[in-house]
Amino acid sequence: MSKLKLGPCCSVAGCSLRAGTNLLSEIKAFRFPRNKKQCDAWIAAVKREGWIPTSNSRICSTHFISGKPSNDPLNPDYTPSKLLHRPETSRKMDRYQRSLRRASEVSEISIGVQPTEEVEDMDINVTEDMQKLNTSYKEQVRSLVSKVQTLTCEWKQLKSDVDLNDDQIIHFYTGLRSSKVFFALLTHLTTSWSPRTQSPPTPLQFYLVLMKLRLGLTHKDLAFRFHCTCATISEIFHDWLNVMTQRFSFLIQWPSREEIRKNLPALFKSPPFNSVRCIIDCSEIFIDQPTSLSARTMTYSNDKSHNTIKFLVGISPTGSITFLSKSWGGRSSDETITKSSGLIDLLEEGDIVMANRGFSFPEYFAAKGVQLLIPASTRGKTPLSGQEVSVSRHMSKLRGHVERAIGRIKKYCILRQTLPMNLVKRRSKDTVATVDKILLVCSALSNLDKSLIK
């Protein structure tokens, strides 16, 4: 007599039945379905944490209401339901059977109805109405999907720890003294202008532009922070920079003699310093090496041993920046930049301009009756008198304020880095070089800080 071959044991926890236990047994075992959705439902029903079925895994017929699985998702036997943790499963099968009976009754009634012209017209109208409903539903779904996408995008953009009302955050990331100053400038910029890009929101756009200027962040860094593309950041930056250049130019003003004398600090009240109209100095910014050989020659600075751009800064006795020249190649001399900057056109007869020894061309200023005041030099001369030494020391102390003013401009880290050529040269649609816009905006914003000289 041959032995009975036993099948694999049931995979349901607590069930040890298997197909072929004895010849009279009606127990059958079923493989896990190939349909992934149905297979996942079976695995969930088994409730064995971390367990994955194999090709030998089975579930016996005792766990199905009808004794076998069904491929109909509406049928309770789509998954094994007669389990210890799922009592009273027979009601589900009753409901399913009732739904099948109703469906069959409706189909019988529809078959028994004789088609007439009225019925045909009614069918046509019903079909048209259904098409209209489907069309309206589709439009509503599209509208809702669009709204969800918009809200998701806005949520991503606003999903940051940025608190624009926090003075410390504003000061660190933008250099402005407080959030009140931030929103005052934002209102001034957007009163009669709105950015072309609608996302991120307008306050965040202004914030990210100031972040780039203050911290020297790359477009890629800002794109990660504000959940957009580098192209969007570039567009936002140049769009805002153009407006800021126009609207912030009023922060760099050439004061009249009366205004200077009215606000003259105590350090300048003794002659000849009481007639000082401005203190000037040149500064340089490193740039990438240009591809053009002529541009390389024009921008190479022997002092810095690097390609640079050079600009002239003038401050009032109170330390405010009152004059800013256009940028020049680093090879240009202080004399060339000063003569071409237009500074002499702003000066009046009797004014005094203070500078360092590099500006040794007093005849240029003397032609308009302006005195150039530079520290005395002992090179090739007799020793200085006591009065000359005292004046020179006082002059050096005062002249140091222009270096502090330039230092304030360069607190905007974008000017302390090596500028790429796309931020140096003029863009095709612009009349002003990008670096000149950056210099003007950084200088204007530095004027909003506390006065350098009390």
Same-domain status, 242 and 284? no
Percentage of residues in the chain having pLDDT higher than 90: 39
Q: Are residues 16 and 64 in the same domain?
A: yes
Confidence of residue 72 (pLDDT cuts 50, 70, 90): confident
Ranges 17-21, 105-109, 336-340, 421-425: which has the least confidence: 105-109
Question: Tell me, what's the pLDDT at 1?
Answer: 45
Question: The domain that contains 386 carries what CATH number?
Answer: 3.30.420
pLDDT confidence band for 2 (50 / 70 / 90): very low
Which pLDDT band, with edges at 50, 70 and 90, does 111 fall under? very low
Q: Are 447 and 252 in contact (CB under 8 A)?
A: yes
Is the pLDDT reported for residue 191 higher than 70? yes
List Cβ neighbours of 243 (8 Å cut-off, separation of 6 or more): 189, 193
Look at residue 126 and tell me whether its pLDDT is greater than 80.
Answer: no
Tokens of 416: 């302390």
pLDDT for the residue numbered 96 = 72
> Scanning the structure block, which residue is given the tokens 């304020």?
401
The rounded distance, in Å, linking the Cα atoms of 254 and 346 is 8
Final residue before a domain boundary, out of 247, 273, 301 = 247
Judge if 272 and 394 occupy the same domain.
Answer: yes
Q: Domain for residue 75, yes or no?
A: yes
- Same domain for 140 and 175? no
Question: In this predicted structure, what is the pLDDT of residue 104?
Answer: 67
- Assigned domain for 451 exists: no
283-298: pLDDT as tens digits:
999 999 999 999 999 9
Q: How many domains does the chain have?
A: 4
For the chain, the average pLDDT equals: 83
Q: In this model, does residue 122 exceed pLDDT 60?
A: no
- Closest by CA to 317, choosing from 351, 364, 367, 283, is 351
What is the pLDDT at residue 410?
92
The residue among 218, 247, 276 that closes a domain is 247
- Residue 117 belongs to some domain of the structure: no
Claim to verify: residue 335 and residue 399 sit in the same structural domain: yes
Contacting residues for 318 by C-beta, under 8 A, at least 6 apart:
260, 263, 264, 265, 451, 452, 453
Backbone Cα Rg of the chain: 41
In which domain, by residue range, is 214 found?
167-247
Q: Could you tell me if 68 and 132 lie in one domain?
A: no
Would 115 be classed as within a structural domain? no
HEC assignment per residue over 206-238: HHHHHHHHHHCCCHHHHHHHHCCCHHHHHHHHH
Provide the pLDDT confidence category of residue 7 given band limits of 50, 70 and 90. confident
The answer to whether the pTM exceeds 0.75 is no
Determine the average pLDDT of the residues in 444-453.
86
> In degrees rounded to 5, what are phi and psi of residue 308?
-140, 165
Say if 119 falls within a structural domain.
no
Calculate mean pLDDT across residues 129-158.
70
pLDDT in tens, 300-353: 999 899 999 999 999 998 889 999 999 999 999 999 999 999 999 999 999 999
> Do 28 and 141 reside in the same domain of the chain?
no
Last residue of a domain, one of 247, 273, 295: 247
What pLDDT, on a 0 to 100 scale, did the predictor assign at position 24?
53
- Residues 311 and 411 placed together within one structural domain of the fold: yes
% of the chain with per-residue pLDDT over 70: 82
Q: Are residues 100 and 155 in the same domain?
A: no
- Res. 86: pLDDT tops 70: no
Cα–Cα separations (whole angstroms), residue 211 to 197, 214, 221, 224, 335: 18, 5, 11, 14, 35
3-state SS, one letter per residue, for the chain? CCCCCCCCEECCCCCCCECCCCCCCCCCEEECCCCHHHHHHHHHHHCCCCCCCCCCCEEEHHHCCCCCCCCCCCCHHHCCCCECCECCCHHHHHHHHHHHHHHHHHHHHHHHCCCCHHHHHHHHHHHHHHHHHHHHHHHHHHHHHHHHHHHHHHHHHHCCCCCCCCHHHHHHHHCCCCHHHHHHHHHHHHCCCCCCCCCCCHHHHHHHHHHHHHHCCCHHHHHHHHCCCHHHHHHHHHHHHHHHHHHCHHHCCCCCHHHHHHCCCHHHCCCCHHHEEEEEEEEEEEECCCCCHHHHHHHEECCCCEEEEEEEEEECCCCCEEEECCCEECCCCHHHHHHHHCHHHHCCCCCEEECCCCCCCHHHHHCCCCEEECCCCCCCCCCCCHHHHHHHHHHHHHHHHHHHHHHHHCCCHHHCCCECHHHCCCCCCCCCCHHHHHHHHHHHHHCCCCCCCC
Of 63-67, 102-106, 447-451, the least confident = 102-106
Mean per-residue pLDDT, 116-139:
61
pLDDT range class, residue 172, cuts 50, 70, 90: very high
Amino acid at 341: S
Residues 81 and 212 in one domain: no
Nearest Cα to 236, choosing from 257, 213, 215?
Answer: 213
Residue 214, domain member (yes or no)? yes
Check residue 156 and give its pLDDT. 53
Q: How far apart are the first and last CA of the chain?
A: 115
Residues 146 and 173 in one domain: no
Instruction: Kindly state whether residue 252 falls inside one of the protein's structural domains.
Output: no
Within a domain: 189:
yes
How much is the pLDDT for 44?
85
393 & 283 share domain: yes
